[in-house]
Amino acid sequence: MRIIIRDTAQEASRLAASQIITSLPTNGRLGVATGSTPLALYGFLREAHAAGEFTLEGCSAWALDEYVQIPEDHPERYRNVLLNELVENGGTGLAADDLHTPDGAAEDPEQAARDYESQIAPGVDVQILGLGSNGHIGFNEPAGSLSSRTHVGHLTPTTRSDNARFFGNDIDAVPSLCITQGLATIMSAREIVLLAFGEGKAEAIAQIVEGGVAQRWPGSILQHHENVTVYVDEAAASRLDLADYYKTLN
């Protein structure tokens, strides 16, 4: 696990975008995350596309998760968020038909999860991840299986509270169910890029980087992946015991 610490989230996001531009092969498969954390990264990818330095044309993008039974036209439906970030507004070269998301509107979400798992196999080339304040990646909440595959998950009160800002600060408006890639699905990626910014992520970063691998902190499973880069700002790195050492390595 490589830890990259920079003064600001903007600087760290720019470096993460550069890694993706360099690492993603032609016609590659990119795993994409939602939430506020990767938005600056997506902005840098759009800038690179506009400058003729990068394109997702011919590539496919695979979402980590989707809310269950969220209206199709809801702005926080993750497919709509990713269309806005990667296809519209200048775009990245990605075609809408090449953006794959779990079918949260399916009558049988469990079957939709199984279908998505079979579609994403054998994994993506580069997976972008954010990190929840309780240590979740995707919507794999604490106490879940460390070997899970794509499944229907129940969101914890912490996650719903964190996401309420996207729903007018109304926690009751945040869906309680989701379809999410499992931890084993995420671990099948060839390369993983995780971003976490702000003091609110400091404990989670310390646990997943320097703590033991445990269900309490799902992101800690990444310690067993051979190619993970973690991008953090100074605030998110503030509880890392070895922060000074990590800075000497990059």
For the chain, give every domain's residue range.
2-248
pLDDT band per the 50, 70, 90 thresholds, residue 89: confident
Residue reference for tokens 């009751």:
172
Are residues 7 and 234 in contact, defined by beta-carbon separation less than 8 angstroms?
A: yes
Determine the pLDDT at residue 250.
83
pTM above 0.85, yes or no: yes
Determine the pLDDT at residue 154.
94
Determine the pLDDT at residue 2.
98
Predicted confidence (pLDDT) at residue 239 exceeds the cutoff of 90: yes
Predicted confidence (pLDDT) at residue 75 exceeds the cutoff of 90: yes
- Annotated catalytic residue: which of 136, 151, 162, 233? 136
Phi, then psi, of 143 in degrees rounded to 5 = 80, 0
- Pick among 1.10.3720.10, 3.60.150.10, 3.40.50.1360, 3.40.50.150: CATH of 2-248: 3.40.50.1360
Is residue 49 part of the annotated active site? The answer reads: no
Predicted confidence (pLDDT) at residue 122 exceeds the cutoff of 90: yes
Is residue 141 part of the annotated active site? The answer reads: yes
- Annotated catalytic residue: which of 98, 100, 134, 191? 134
Are residues 59 and 24 in contact, defined by beta-carbon separation less than 8 angstroms?
A: yes
Are residues 64 and 33 in contact, defined by beta-carbon separation less than 8 angstroms?
A: yes
- Annotated catalytic residue: which of 85, 117, 141, 233? 141
Predicted confidence (pLDDT) at residue 198 exceeds the cutoff of 90: yes
The overall average pLDDT reported for the chain is: 97
Determine the pLDDT at residue 223.
98
Is residue 134 part of the annotated active site? The answer reads: yes
- Annotated catalytic residue: which of 49, 65, 80, 98? 65
Is residue 66 part of the annotated active site? The answer reads: no
> Edge-to-edge, what's the strand order for the sheet holding 29-32?
2-6, 228-233, 191-196, 126-129, 29-32, 60-63, 99-100
